[in-house]
Each structure stands twice: as structure tokens, then as C-alpha cells.
Structure 1
Amino acid sequence: MPGHFEPAPGGGATVALDEVEISILRSLAVQLMELIGPGDEPAEDADPLAALFAEGPSEAPSDPALARLFPDAYAGPGAGEESERDEELRTASSDFRRFTELDLRSRKRADAHRVVQALDSLTPSGEDEAVLKLTVEDCRCWLGALNDLRLTIGTRLDVADDDETLYRLPDDDPRKPMVMAYLWLGVLQETLVETLMP
């Protein structure tokens, strides 16, 4: 998949995508929204001030991909016997999570939703590519969603920084499509960052 971002005149970025690329990106963004979950949106008649101070979960998610998207704010307990400092860090992480995770989940969902909306606005015809134009604000949302997608896929594939075995998988390996998507998302993310640099 050769798609990559280029700077747009006047700011923002553009990328040419064919139907397959649009379908893959859309599917991944929808799956990301499903993984993150619907969240606890306040009722329409809810007090906006109370909603602002709503508390979220205090425990880290059990799903490794969600734990990667919503990590503890402070280092967890060390190996061996638990020290008093470890307990302090766990309590601080729990408090931080309780007051920030709902907002973070909402932002991540909104970023992925913005990706889906942008892709839904495209209409490639046949073998032609459609050109997606992003504003600077759109670019910020796309960067967040691309990063979240790569973290999620990387966690599912158990990608390590120094592990290159995944990059040389045979074509019949069932992980190959996800590895290809992971690498392509990396190209999109890297070229989008480059377009935004002065």
C-alpha cells in the first residue's frame, strides 16, 4: 500500500487512497472505537459541572491492548517484595486514572470517529484513488488515531522494538495481513508528522 501523506497548500495534509485502503483504514478505526467502548456519556439533562467531575475506573484494563492505550501514570510495583513506595505509586496511578481516563477515552473515540467521517466523505471510482484533504486540526486527530491503531495492533502482535522476525513472515502466516497493516500505518503516521513540520 503506497499511500502516504503530503503537505497541503495553506496547511494540513493530503493523501491519495484507493477503495481497499479506505476500507482497511475505516474498518480499523471502527474496531478501535469498539475496543475503546461507548464510554459513559452524561445524559442530555445532566448537570455539565457534575459531568466535568465524573469519576472513571480506578483499575487498569485487563485487555493488554487497552492497558497499552490507557497505561498507569506512575510506575507499578517492582519485583520481589512490595515496598511502601510501590503502594504509594499504585494509589497515585489509581487516583490519576479515576479522574482522567473517561476524558482520554472520549478523545480517543472522537479521533477515531473523525477518521471514519473523513473516509466516509471519499468516493473513489473504480481503480481511481480519492484524495483526502485534512485541515491542521484533522491532522491532529488522525495522528492520535494512527498512533492508537499502531499501539493496539503492535500489542496484539506482541511487537518488540528489537524484534524483526515479524517483518520477514512468510505470506501464508496468518499474522502477515496485520503486520502489513501495522507497517503501512507507520508510514502514514511518519509522513503525516513530516507534513506538519515547518
Structure 2
Amino acid sequence: MPGHFEPLPGGGAAVALDDVEISIIRSLAVQLLELIGPGPAEDAEADPLAELFAEGPSEPPSDPVLKRLFPDAYCDPEQTPGSTQDAAEQRAYSAEFRRYTENDLRAGKRENALAVIHSLNELAPAGEGGAVLELSPQQARRWLGALNDLRLAIGSRLEITDEDDTDDLYRLPEQDPRKPMVMAYLWLGGLQETLVSTLMP
């Protein structure tokens, strides 16, 4: 899947996508939306004031992908705390931070995924089973956030923790059931990298 973003005059970015690529990105974005879940306003009565002061969860999610998307703010999983008291303080700080920020973080990730889906749905065919997606600078930033979240989600499922893991994935045999997910992870990485380049001044 060789598609890559190129800058547009006056800002923004464009990429040529075929029907398969469009379908893959749309499907992944929909799955990400399902994973993130509905917002508080979708579960409660429409009260803007109540929504403004709604508190989020204080415990980290149990799903490993959601843990990757919404990590603890004060806990470093690679670092051993100096004492049990340090660990308890870090958990308390993380819980408090999560309670007041996770709803907004989820809303932002949800909006990014929805922006991807909407822009793909509005694509006009360019012939021969493909289309050219043109994004404004604001849309491009939404796409960048969604691409990052999709790669984090796939990377978590593939148990990628560092670049060495990625190198090993390149060498997977074709019959490995993880191969399609690996190909999607690498392709999305290429899209993300070229989109970053288009947004740099």
C-alpha cells in the first residue's frame, strides 16, 4: 500500500487511496470508536452544565489497548518505585488526574476517529477504484491524532513495546496470522510519517 500524504498549496495534505485502503482505514476507525465507547452525554440526559462537571473513571481500563491509549499520568511501568508509599502516592495522583481528564481525552479521540470516517465517506471517486483525499490543516491534525491512536491500538495487540519488536515483525512468515495486522501497522506508520512531514513548516 504505497499511498503517502503530500502537502497542498496553502496548507493541508492530500493522499491517493484505493478502495481497499479506504475500507481498511474506515473499518479500523469504526473499531476504534467502538473500543473508546460513547461519551457521557450519550448515556445521560442532555445537561451541558452536568456534562461540564462530569467526572471520569479513577481506575485505569482493564483492556490493554485502552491502557495504552489512556495511560496513568504518574506511574512509569518500567520504573520500580522507591517504596510502597511512593507507589501508593503515584496511584492516588494518577487516579485523581484520570478522574478529571479521561472524559476529555476520550472525546478528543472520538472526534478524531469520526473526522476520519466522515472525510472518507465524503470522498468522490477518482476513477479505477480510487480517490484523492484532500484535508484542510485542521482535518489533517485530526487524522494525525487518529492515525497515532490506531497505531497504538494495533501495536498493543501485537505487543510492540520498542523498535526491536518492530524489526522482528518485518521478518514474520507470510502464514503467520499476525501478518495482516503487521502490514496495517507498518502502512499506517508510513501514512503518519508523511502526514507529519506535510504539517511541518
What range is the shorter-chain TM-score in? over 0.9
**Equivalence for 2:17:** 17
Cα distance in 1 for partners of 2:80, 2:9 equals 53
Deviations 1:110-150 (A, max 9, x none): 10000000001113366342111100100110010000000
**Equivalence for 1:159:** 160
Deviations 1:11-65 (A, max 9, x none): 000000010000000000000000111121165641x233111101000000000
The normalised TM-score by structure 2 is: 0.92
Secondary structure of 1:147's partner?
helix
Is the 2:81–2:87 Cα contact (8 Å) retained in structure 1? no
Secondary structure of 1:38's partner?
coil
Q: How many residue pairs align between the two structures?
A: 197
Secondary structure of 2:134's partner?
strand
Unaligned runs of 5+ in 2: none
Cα distance in 2 for partners of 1:53, 1:37 equals 19
Is the 1:16–1:131 Cα contact (8 Å) retained in structure 2? yes
| 1:131 partnered with 2:135 | no
| 1:116 partnered with 2:104 | no
| 1:190 partnered with 2:182 | no
Secondary structure of 1:102's partner?
helix
Secondary structure of 1:132's partner?
strand
Report percent identity of matched pairs.
Answer: 66
Distance verdict in 2 for CA 1:80–1:17, change over 3 Å:
closer
Alignment of structure 1 residues 63-102 onto 2, 5 Å: 63-75=63-75, 79=80, 82-102=83-103
Unaligned runs of 5+ in 1: none
The aligned amino acid for 1:151 is L
The aligned amino acid for 2:121 is D
The aligned amino acid for 2:197 is E
Is the 2:14–2:134 Cα contact (8 Å) retained in structure 1? yes
Cα distance in 1 for partners of 2:40, 2:71 equals 19
Cα distance in 2 for partners of 1:89, 1:112 equals 31
**Equivalence for 1:35:** 35
Secondary structure of 2:56's partner?
coil
